[in-house]
Every structure is written in structure tokens, then in C-alpha cells.
Amino acid sequence: MSILVVGSVALDSVETPFGRAERVLGGSANFFAAAASLFAGAQVQVVGVVGDDYPMAQLDFLAQRGVDLSGIERAPGESFFWAGRYDYDLNSRDTLETRLGVFADFQPRIPEAFRSARHVFLGNIDPELQLDVLDQVDSPELVACDTMNFWIEGSRDALMRLLPRLDILMVNDAEARQFADEPNLLKAARWIQARGPRWVVIKKGEHGAMLYDRDRVFFVPGYPLESVFDPTGAGDAFAGGFMGHLAGPRVIDGDTLRRAMVYGSATGSFAVEAFSVDRFRKLTTRDVWQRVEDFREMTFFDHDVDGDHG
Amino acid sequence: MSILVVGSVALDSVETPFGRAERVLGGSANFFAAAASLFAGAQVQVVGVVGDDYPMAQLDFLAQRGVDLSGIERAPGESFFWAGRYDYDLNSRDTLETRLGVFADFQPRIPEAFRSARHVFLGNIDPELQLDVLDQVDSPELVACDTMNFWIEGSRDALMRLLPRLDILMVNDAEARQFADEPNLLKAARWIQARGPRWVVIKKGEHGAMLYDRDRVFFVPGYPLESVFDPTGAGDAFAGGFMGHLAGPRVIDGDTLRRAMVYGSATGSFAVEAFSVDRFRKLTTRDVWQRVEDFREMTFFDHDVDGDHG
């Protein structure tokens, strides 16, 4: 099944306590595609923009996995570049430099062949552009969207117009609280749901992720890693695994989305084990499946046998 | 089965965005006993100290549930008093006042009748006193212990001598990292385990709790509450539910401890729904059991049916 992703195709320079990487593949669309393309059912279609400095050959591994890169526009100028540094516990990062380059004037143009995509993931870009993407596609079955504090503060009206057109909003816990102006996370999720999306996914980094369905909540923990190498892109790799799982031939319902949460957590956890999208280069569907099994083992407990006790 | 708890029996004055409570029951032993005594199998024995100002009649509801309070010493002077204020998101608190009173000279004396307790919970007190308690008891099957940053900084040697005598250490994530001087939580837990306790329980507040067993990790989320009223005592109420569950007639193994984690999370989540120990006054075992079921529902996903997909 086809999944259209619109987002950034960037170059990142990253410093962590464990090393540094210079001008490596980054951006939401790259991380999303690297994760989603692991799933046999997913035909990933990327729309984005790069400058004339972009090392296109480095995207070959995505193309070899069937990712359609024909929607990546090349524009004169510099590619989106981000440089950042993580401190020793990897929970906070400093942005050292952001150069939007050609991304500053990005106007997504959805190629004719992509307009019938069944599933759409709107990476974290200006919500006006996210609305514009939805105006260009036919009638997707499922629309998921990421956003961030910058847009919640500065483009609230556009986000409010976007909400009714979404099936799933993915944000982190601070963003959910900020958007709803509500410190209680459950109430914040309900506030968002009341304005459109049936499902709200709240990402909490090392603390896991939550899925708010109409009347149920599902929780998946962060995967306990001994080596968190570079957190960059974990959220987009989460979204890629999540949407990749849903691209299989199946009904989209609460139970399917629970599994998608775990697949997303698995791909998100792989993302942080190496710089850039490197961890995905040799990863197999079997590796992902095994990690999903690990998640089940981590959260399983046997309650019934204990019903006599209370 | 008998559970000995040694800890503080205090008075708290608490301000939250939702109200205030003056000189209400507080302290680790009270929260622990209020939660543990919900479990039919648990005969809770409390050792602590109060001043001559303590409203002993307010502990009647514990006595009525079979908690043995005969180990609470009354000393001339003021009871341990803590006053604090939580800000609007309830994640951070300011201590407004701490008066140790008679607690400053607390020397736990374990009554003869309590020395054969099968399970022991060492509330968060000076690790030298925790060691002293262990010297006074016969040969408990299970010893669990709480501690905090204050002792990790100031009484590290005593804590290191304590570790080999523990089956379970319960700390929060920041304390585990501090104790092991290791930002990675999994490595921090392994560091602690290598020094004694087979199990390490890491509490993460609203983000849930983790159980590190020899080669397995178990995770239980925070319960998604619409009304977090007063977080005081949640950790001790967690410990009470955890130990209360284990007091039933059962083998102590990894599977039992997983369930105990969920029972502890249930009682911890009830604690925060009211001031002081008030939420436990009318709580039933059925309420706790139902919340444990909710936890199962929150973390369950069906993976096998999807094995064809990856």
C-alpha cells in the first residue's frame, strides 16, 4: 500500500558524547522512509526539497528498498542543514546551527502518481503547507501528522484548521500540554481529539509513547537500550514504523493501531543506536519483529491466576 | 504473612493547585501501611516514632484494617513535620518547611513480636538505621528498601554496606543514575544489581516504573489519571501495594514480582487522587484489582496474528 510522506530531506551534523557525524542524512522524510520501507507492504513515496549540494547518491539505499524518491525536488541553493549537540545524558540538546536553505521556500508539489496514496504522513513542517498537501491528494484512508512547539505557538490557526482533517496527531508530551493549554496529559489528548483526530499519539522519548483512542489508552515503554548513540530522528523513525506496519493489508482500528505503536517504538529504538539513518541500512524485518516480541515480554504479566488474591 | 515496615510517621501540610491540607497523616510508613493493608494476606507491622503532638486517633483506620501499630514509639517533643507546595503541573515541588522533631533521634527498636517478619520494607531513612533494623530481625525471606538522593550523596558507604543485604532496591530514575554515576538507566540498574539486590525497581512518577530482574526488564506505565490531586506519598503507596501483593501465599520469583509492580502502580495511582492517605480509607481490594485489569488492558497488544507481516 502506498504511503506518501512530506517532510524535510536534510543534512545533519551531530555531536554526542560518543562521537560526531558531519553532514549526514537527516530530516523527517529520510528517517520516516528508512523505517517505513522495512515493511513489505509499504510503498513509500517521498516529497521534499533539496539544494544542489545534496549527496543524492546516499539515498540509493532507500531507492533500493523501493522508496520512490521522484517527489524530491532539486532547487538551486543550499540544502536544509541542522547542527546540534547532545549532552551526556542525551535528554537535552543544543541546536548549534540551523540553515533552512531551499527548505525556506518549500512548496510541496505532489506528483500526479502520488495523489492517490492511501496513507499520508505529514512530517513536521508549516501547517499551512500540511493543509496544502491535503488539498492536493485524492482521498486518503488515513492521514497522520507531526508538529512541534514552533508551529503551536506561531501557527495555531492553521493547526486548528488542520485538526479536523487528521486521523492521527503525533506530538510529544510537552507539545500536547502546550497545544491544549492543559497540564494533565489525558485531558490534553481529549482536547485534541475533540477537535478532529480520532487518535492522538503522544511520544515521551525514553519514557515511551501513548495512544489515545476514543475511550481507551494504550501504552508502550521506551526500549531499554544500553547504547543510546544519537537520539536524532527517533520520532520520525517511530512514525515510519507505525505507518509502515499499517500499510499491510488490514483494517485500521484500535487493535491495529496498538500494534503499530509497538512497531513504531521498535523502529524508533533502532534509530538511536547509530548516527543518522545508519542503523536501518542492514536492518531486517526479522530484527524489527524480534524487538516487538521484546516489547511484549517487557509488558506482559499474568493477572488471572491471581484473581483469588486481589 | 507479616510485613515489617520501618519509616516515618509524619504530619504533612500540602498545597496543590487544587487545595490545601494542614497537618494531615503523612510519612513513608503511613502511606505504605495504608496501601499494604488492603491485601488480605498482609499483616502489616509498623515501626516508627511520633512526638506527643501526634493525632494517634487518626491512625485508627489502619488499626481497623489489622495494621499493628504497637511499634510506633511516642517520644517527648514534636512529630516529624513536612510542608510543601506543588506547582501547576504537579511534577515539581518546593519544600516549604521540614521539622524533623523526634525523628531526628529515631533509633528503630523492633519489638520482639516483629522480629520474625517474613518480609521487610525499609522506608527512606538513614541507611545506618536501615542496617540496624536488619541486625534486629531474624531472617526475612525478602528485604526491600527505598532511599533517596540525600543518602546517596551523604551516606554512600552505609548504602554500599546495605546493598548486599537487600533483595530489592527501589529508587527513582534520577537516584539510580546518581548512585551508579551512570546516565544510562539500564547500565545503572545493572551496576546496582551487581552489588547485591537481585531486583531493582525504578520509579518514574507519571512515566511509570521498571523492574530489572537478572536478565529481564518489566515495565508498567503510569496510570493516566484525569485528576492528579496530590503526588505526596505515591512512591510509598507503590511500595505498599507491591509488598502487599507479595504477602499472599506465593513463590517470590520474577513473574510474581511483575504482578507486584502492577499492584504497586495501582495503589500508587490511588494515592495521588486525594490528599494524605485519604483515598485508601474506603478503597476495596476489588477497586485495586480493577485498576490492575486496566493496566493490563493499557499494555496488551496482539502480535502473533500479525506474524506474517513483520
In contact, A248 and A43? CB cutoff 8 Å: no
Give the pLDDT band (50/70/90) at residue A249. Answer: low
pLDDT in tens, A57-75: 999 999 999 999 999 999 9
Q: pLDDT for A281-294, tens place per residue?
A: 999 999 999 999 99
Task: Report the residue count for chain A.
Answer: 310
Quick check: B214 contacting A, CB < 8 Å? no
d(CA A219, CA A202): 10
d(C-alpha B196, C-alpha B162), whole Å: 8
Nearest chain A Cα to B89, which residue?
Answer: A183
Q: Is residue B309 part of a domain?
A: no
Contact B25, B2 (CB under 8 A): no
ipTM field: 0.90
- The answer to whether A233 touches A146, Cβ cutoff 8 Å, is no
- Which DSSP helix (H) or strand (E) runs through B165? none
- Residue reference for cell 493549554: A181
Helices (H), B56-182: 60-64, 127-136, 149-154, 156-162, 173-180
B293: left (phi over 0), alpha (psi -120 to 50) or beta: alpha
Higher per-residue confidence, B176 vs A17: B176
pLDDT given at position B249:
66
Percent of chain A exceeding pLDDT 70 equals 97
Asked if residues A118 and A140 have their Cβ atoms less than 8 Å apart, the reply is yes
User: A18 in contact with B at a CB cutoff of 8 Å?
Assistant: no
pLDDT tens digits for range A212-236:
999 999 999 999 998 888 999 999 9
**Is the CB of A92 inside 8 Å of chain B's CB atoms?**
no
pLDDT of residue B308: 45
Give yes or no for a contact between B48 and B59, defined as CB atoms under 8 angstroms apart: no
Amino acid (1-letter code) at residue A142: L
Mutate to test the interface with B, among A187, A219, A269 (most CBs of B within 10 A): A219
Contact B6, B30 (CB under 8 A): no
Query: For chains A and B, what is the number of CB pairs under 8 angstroms?
Result: 130
pLDDT of amino acid A264? 98
What's the pLDDT at A201? 98
- Is residue A104 in some structural domain? yes
CB–CB of A309 and B183 under 8 A?
Answer: no
Task: Cell 527512606: give the residue.
Answer: B124
For A226, the closest of B186, B255, B298 (CB atoms) is B186
pLDDT of A221: 96
Residue B91 in this model has a pLDDT that exceeds 80 = no
pLDDT band at B248 (very low <50, low <70, confident <90, very high): confident
What DSSP designation does B125 have?
Answer: S
Give the separation between CA B37 and CA A87, rounded to whole angstroms.
44
Task: Look at B224 and A210 and tell me if their CB atoms are within 8 Å.
Answer: yes
Model confidence pLDDT, tens digit, residues A84-101: 999 877 777 899 999 999
Contact A277, A25 (CB under 8 A): yes
Rg (CA), chain A: 19
User: Does some domain include residue B35?
Assistant: yes
Q: Do B301 and A262 touch (CB under 8 A)?
A: yes
The region that residue A276 occupies, defined by phi over 0 for left and psi between -120 and 50 for alpha, beta otherwise, is left
Quickly state the pLDDT bin for A310 (edges 50, 70, 90).
Answer: very low
In the predicted model, what is the mean pLDDT of residues B237-254?
Answer: 92
Name the residue with cell 483526530.
A197
In a domain, B310, yes or no: no
Contact present, A80 and A9 (Cβ < 8 Å): yes
Mean of per-residue pLDDT scores for chain B: 95
User: Residue with C-alpha cell 504482578?
Assistant: B259
Q: Binning pLDDT at 50, 70 and 90, where does residue A308 land?
A: very low
Instruction: Give A40's contacts (C-beta < 8 A, 6+ positions apart).
Output: A248, A285, B309, B310
Alpha-carbon distances, residue B198 vs B6, B193, B252 (angstroms)? 21, 6, 12
Per-residue confidence (pLDDT) for residue A99, from 0 to 100? 96
Do B257 and B290 contact (CB within 8 A), yes or no? no
CATH of residue A232's domain is: 3.40.1190.20
Grid coordinates standing for B271? 494515592
A239: nearest Cα among A210, A284, A201, A195: A201
Q: Which of residues 39-68 of B touch A (CB under 8 A)?
A: 39-41
Name every residue whose Cβ is closer than 8 Å to that of residue B70 and which is 6 or more positions away in sequence: B111, B113
Average pLDDT over residues B74-103: 92
Question: Cβ of B285 and A310 within 8 Å?
Answer: yes
What pLDDT was estimated at residue B305?
53
CB contact under 8 A, B226 and A310: no
- Residue B303 has its nearest CB partner, among A224, A292, A310, at A292
Residue A309 has pLDDT above 80, yes or no: no
Instruction: Report the residue of A253, A301, A302, A304 to disrupt the B interface, i.e. the one with the largest count of B CBs within 10 Å.
Output: A301
Whole-angstrom distance, CA of residue A9 vs CA of residue A79: 8
Chain B residues close to A216, C-beta within 8 Å: 297-298
Quick one: what percent of chain A has pLDDT higher than 90? 90
Q: Determine which helix (DSSP H) or strand (DSSP E) holds A296, and give its type and residue range.
A: helix A285-299
CA atoms of B284 and B304, how far apart (whole Å)? 36
Contacts of A154 (CB under 8 A, 6+ apart): none
Note whether residue A308 is domain-resident: no
Q: How many domains does chain B have?
A: 1
Domain of residue B187, residue span: 2-301
For chain A, positions 179-198, list CB contacts with chain B under 8 A: 183-187
Ordered alpha helix ranges (H), chain B: 28-36, 60-64, 127-136, 149-154, 156-162, 173-180, 185-193, 234-246, 254-271, 285-299
pLDDT-derived band at A53, boundaries 50, 70, 90: very high
pLDDT of residue B296: 96
Cα A104 to chain centroid, rounded: 21
* E strands, B65-130, in order: 68-74, 81-86, 93-99, 119-122
Lowest mean pLDDT among A186-190, B228-232, B273-277: B228-232
**Range from B76-90, B229-243, B282-296 carrying the lowest mean pLDDT:** B76-90
In a domain? residue B306: no
The torsion region of residue B278 among left (phi > 0), alpha (psi -120 to 50) and beta comes to alpha
- Write down the pLDDT at residue B227: 83
**Across residues B71-83, what is the average pLDDT?**
98
Q: Provide mean pLDDT across the span B190-211.
A: 97
**Is the Cβ of A161 closer than 8 Å to some Cβ of chain B?**
no
> In sequence order, what are the beta bridge partners of B46?
B5
Sheet holding B217-220, edge to edge: B68-74, B43-50, B2-6, B119-122, B142-146, B168-172, B199-203, B209-212, B217-220
What is the average pLDDT value for chain A, to the nearest integer? 94
Sheet holding A68-74: strands in order across? A68-74, A43-50, A2-6, A119-122, A142-146, A168-172, A199-203, A209-212, A217-220
Contacts of B266 in chain A (CB under 8 A): none
Asked, for residue A309, whether it belongs to a domain, the answer is: no
- Is residue A62 situated within a structural domain? yes
Q: What is the pLDDT of residue B304?
A: 63
Nearest-10 Cα torsion for A263, A34, A87, A149: -80
B103 φ/ψ sector (left φ>0, alpha ψ -120 to 50, else beta): alpha
Asked whether residue B307 carries a pLDDT value surpassing 60, the answer given is: no
